[in-house]
Structure 1
Amino acid sequence: MTPKPLLRLLMLGAALTAAGCATPVAPSGPQSASCESGAVRLTQDFSTAPDYACERTDDAAFKLTVLPEDPDINPSPWYAFDLHTERASEAQVALDYPDYRHRYQPRIEIEDGHWVALPDDAVMVSEDRQNAVLSLEIGPGATRIGAQEVISLADRAMWRTAFADRTGMTRRVIGESRQGRPIEALSRPAASPGAPLIIILGGQHPPEVPGVLGLRAFLDALFGAEANTSVLDGYQWLILPDLNPDGVEHGHWRHNAGGLDLNRDWGPFTQPETAAAFAAIQAQIANGHAPYLLLDFHATRRDVLYTPPDAAELTPFAFSEDWIALIEEEWSGTEPAFDRGPSHNVGMPTSKTWFADTYAAPGVTVEYGDDTDRDRITALSQTAARALARYLDEAQTVSAE
């Protein structure tokens, strides 16, 4: 997409009833017209865009029926689409959720890679949250809208390459997704044999873009120009940033192409993506690196760390309590950095539960809020990375004594 000036967002005003009902403007044109033709068009033909049923309700008004890839799914109603026009035009898009509720505040790309949330007065949501209407003015060309920032598979591959180049990490393909897309790992070897293994995961659930942003900022802070290399050298690092490429490509809410939530397949390993991750971990263990820590990055409705209970008999003992204390020491905000949910998810095959049950080592799910300010996500991630480096430094000092 080409750079464009900041788009002027419209007050809905007369477009909606005084009661605040999220109903599209009454149609004045033919109902059967294609969404992909006309002076104003709506398309869903790019990486990460679902293929929702689209109905044109007026010359510049559309309705998308937002449904998941599979039934009985976590309610993460993702959407992404482009609006096209040759001249400035007012446009309106209704999101209809037959069985779910509007969750994500829409975001708009105002230039390549620069996204902002639509203001509240540009989005009207019905009381039952099963309908939402977006109203805005678009400029000539293509305007991209998404439930979160759109980060395509190509964007993700470019980031991995650039990150590996600037940090000296090794990139390698460890397997393929169900549809044959590569699963790529980044790794950094320890300075000596037998160093403990730290695993960092991301990208299991496609709409959880704040988790992608948080993971990137965390890795940049941990391994970037100001990294404490002597601390990093004491550990073997395995990083899997984009574990569900098929789900990302097709705009899935949750699942891979096999119709499964990958974060419910740790232990069974029935899917090629999780099987590839397990094989990569086992290869590190076979080379003498004992599992020490797993961090899995996600997004939910708030900033929270899902941790094992402090009393769990894991090594290192009470890691989460100690790490969180260091985060709070480093954190400059007036409110706590993260909430905490000490839960083991007994009987649930999530990555963190499987890791703790299998290796008696802590697994932590790092969650960022859907609507958390992006600068706050960066600050949280940088703080968490500094705190982890401090923790690992202190752990090395204790083990050397």
Structure 2
Amino acid sequence: MKRIVTSALLTLFAASSFACQSNKIQLLNDFPNATSDALMTNCVIDEQNKRITVKLLPENKPINNSPWYAFQLISEKPQEITLTLTVEDGTHRYHPKVSHDGESWQAVDYQVVDDKMNVKLNIGPKTTWIAGQELITNQDYVDWGNELSQFEFIDHKVIGKSVKGKPIYQIITNQPAVKQWLVVLGRQHPPEVTGAMALFPFVDTLLGNSELARYFRQQYNIVIVPNMNPDGVELGFWRHNANGVDLNRDWNKFKQPEVIAVDKLLTELVARGDKVAMAVDFHSTHKDIFYTMPNDYGVQQPYLVNNWLNKLDSQYPDFNVIQKPGNNPQMGVFKQYVADKFDVHAITYEMGDNTDRSFIDKLAKDAANTLMQTMLKNNEKLH
């Protein structure tokens, strides 16, 4: 993915926005996805002991324990420093990763002692980036959508605005004669980057030029809203939108503009005589898991998800595709909303925070192919 900000744009000790600085060291946060000033405190640079300390704050409380961080570090001279991160009313979730260009990332060693995460870093005049996960920005989604829209059967359009007025985009196949729809959603929660890493190859496979994908699109249109929470992504939030609300708890309240935009989109599809057939919502958590609706919940094609994920599981003898069925109409999650409003299956596709990135990519491609194969069959019974 292409990044907006590169180290070439940052001049040492220029008039950039910085979170804190000393005579010879700067910690900067003037880039997309960075930890904003409002989400950090007690930033201290101790040059003598070569230590930087920062306390991370949530956007509001209560909140899921997912402390995000992303900074840039510059030093007048090359040196090793220790970055110490603490969390207000939380514990560390994301393991640190370092980049020197904002694109290529490597995990780095760290220690947590007394709730303090200590990371040793070699910094110098060139920018060093450190973040809880790789950075996937709002612009990355726009660029990807623009690339896909070069195909004549794909449109890239704005369907609404976020709390702060940022555009919410859909990527949609424009085949009017096709009346059934597969829905794909992503990035309700800003730091859940491994979910995004799965969404990209999953969608690319659905929209690809394989014989299976071409035939599938003769039977199903596809609508993707890949970046539901652009405000939270931009501002480095832990979980919520700019109103301080977990979007994946608003699908029974419909008070947030991001949720309202998607509900309006799907409601209008059905109102014109089309049908939502299946939905997949990408997230991240501590392990790889697929949250599903029970096959006896009363949705159409009751064994669709079982058949899909069982088929996927059969392709991975050394990996367990965990299915966790459940329903809670009061919770306000997307998969429940789809099942209750459209009477069809939906799943929450969760990738582990630390799952191998190449495996995420491979699994997503296989998941897309097996889903297409399954949706092209009758799923009234187990296969």
TM over 0.5: yes
Instruction: Give the conservation status (yes or no) of the 8 Å contact 2:216–2:372.
Output: yes
Poorly superposed stretches of 4+, deviation over 4 Å: 1-4
What per-residue deviation string (whole Å, max 9, x for no partner) do you get for residues 238-291 of structure 1?
Answer: 110001001111111111011100011112110111101111111211221112
Instruction: Give the conservation status (yes or no) of the 8 Å contact 2:290–2:322.
Output: yes
Q: 1:247 & 1:55 partners in 2: Cα distance?
A: 22
Letter aligned with residue 294 of structure 2: P
Letter aligned with residue 355 of structure 1: V
Q: 1:56 & 1:167 partners in 2: Cα distance?
A: 53
Q: Secondary structure at the match of 1:165?
A: coil
Q: Secondary structure at the match of 2:26?
A: strand
The counterpart of 1:98, out of the listed 81, 84, 88, is 88
CA shift for structure 1 position 179: 0.5
Q: Secondary structure at the match of 1:228?
A: helix
Letter aligned with residue 132 of structure 1: M
Aligned to 1:124: 111
Letter aligned with residue 61 of structure 1: R
Letter aligned with residue 185 of structure 2: L
The counterpart of 1:143, out of the listed 98, 113, 128, is 128
CA shift for structure 1 position 135: 0.7
Letter aligned with residue 363 of structure 2: L
Q: 1:108 & 1:89 partners in 2: Cα distance?
A: 15
Aligned to 2:41: 53
What per-residue deviation string (whole Å, max 9, x for no partner) do you get for residues 82-130 of structure 1?
Answer: 0012432212211111311111111112434111211xxx31102x5x2
What per-residue deviation string (whole Å, max 9, x for no partner) do you get for residues 271-323 of structure 1?
Answer: 11110111111121122111211110000001100001122211121221111
Letter aligned with residue 65 of structure 1: K
Output aligned runs, 1:78-117, within 5 Å.
78-117=68-107
Is it true that 1:157 corresponds to 2:142 in the alignment? yes
What per-residue deviation string (whole Å, max 9, x for no partner) do you get for residues 174-206 of structure 1?
Answer: 11101110011111134625x222111001000
CA shift for structure 1 position 164: 2.9
Output aligned runs, 1:214-229, within 5 Å.
214-226=198-210, 228-229=213-214
Is it true that 1:248 corresponds to 2:233 in the alignment? yes
What per-residue deviation string (whole Å, max 9, x for no partner) do you get for residues 353-392 of structure 1?
Answer: 1111112111100000000010110011011011011112
Is it true that 1:44 corresponds to 2:29 in the alignment? yes
Aligned to 2:55: 65
Instruction: Give the conservation status (yes or no) of the 8 Å contact 2:70–2:130.
Output: yes
Q: 2:301 & 2:319 partners in 1: Cα distance?
A: 28
Q: Secondary structure at the match of 1:233?
A: helix
Aligned to 2:192: 208
The counterpart of 1:358, out of the listed 316, 321, 341, is 341
- TM-score, normalised to structure 1, is 0.85
The counterpart of 1:285, out of the listed 258, 266, 270, is 270
Instruction: Give the conservation status (yes or no) of the 8 Å contact 2:153–2:175.
Output: no
Aligned to 1:75: 65
Q: 1:325 & 1:340 partners in 2: Cα distance?
A: 9
Aligned to 1:386: 369
- TM-score, normalised to structure 2, is 0.89
The counterpart of 2:332, out of the listed 339, 349, 354, is 349
Letter aligned with residue 125 of structure 1: V
What per-residue deviation string (whole Å, max 9, x for no partner) do you get for residues 24-44 of structure 1?
Answer: xxxxxxxxxx82342221111
The counterpart of 2:322, out of the listed 339, 343, 366, is 339
Instruction: Give the conservation status (yes or no) of the 8 Å contact 1:109–1:143.
Output: yes
Greater Cα shift, 130-139 or 372-381: 130-139
Instruction: Give the conservation status (yes or no) of the 8 Å contact 1:86–1:141.
Output: no
Instruction: Give the conservation status (yes or no) of the 8 Å contact 2:188–2:228.
Output: yes
Q: 2:317 & 2:175 partners in 1: Cα distance?
A: 34
Q: 2:208 & 2:221 partners in 1: Cα distance?
A: 17
Is it true that 1:236 corresponds to 2:226 in the alignment? no
What per-residue deviation string (whole Å, max 9, x for no partner) do you get for residues 60-80 of structure 1?
Answer: 421111110001101111111
Letter aligned with residue 21 of structure 2: E
CA shift for structure 1 position 166: 5.1
Output aligned runs, 1:261-300, within 5 Å.
261-300=246-285
Q: Secondary structure at the match of 1:185?
A: strand
Letter aligned with residue 71 of structure 2: F
Unaligned ranges ≥5, structure 2? 9-18
Q: 1:91 & 1:391 partners in 2: Cα distance?
A: 53
Query: For this pair of structures, how many residues does the alignment match?
Result: 361
Greater Cα shift, 132-141 or 252-261: 132-141
Is it true that 1:371 corresponds to 2:354 in the alignment? yes
What per-residue deviation string (whole Å, max 9, x for no partner) do you get for residues 133-190 of structure 1?
Answer: 1112124311111111112222221122123335841011111101110011111134
Aligned to 1:197: 181
Q: CA RMSD in A?
A: 2.1
Letter aligned with residue 85 of structure 1: S
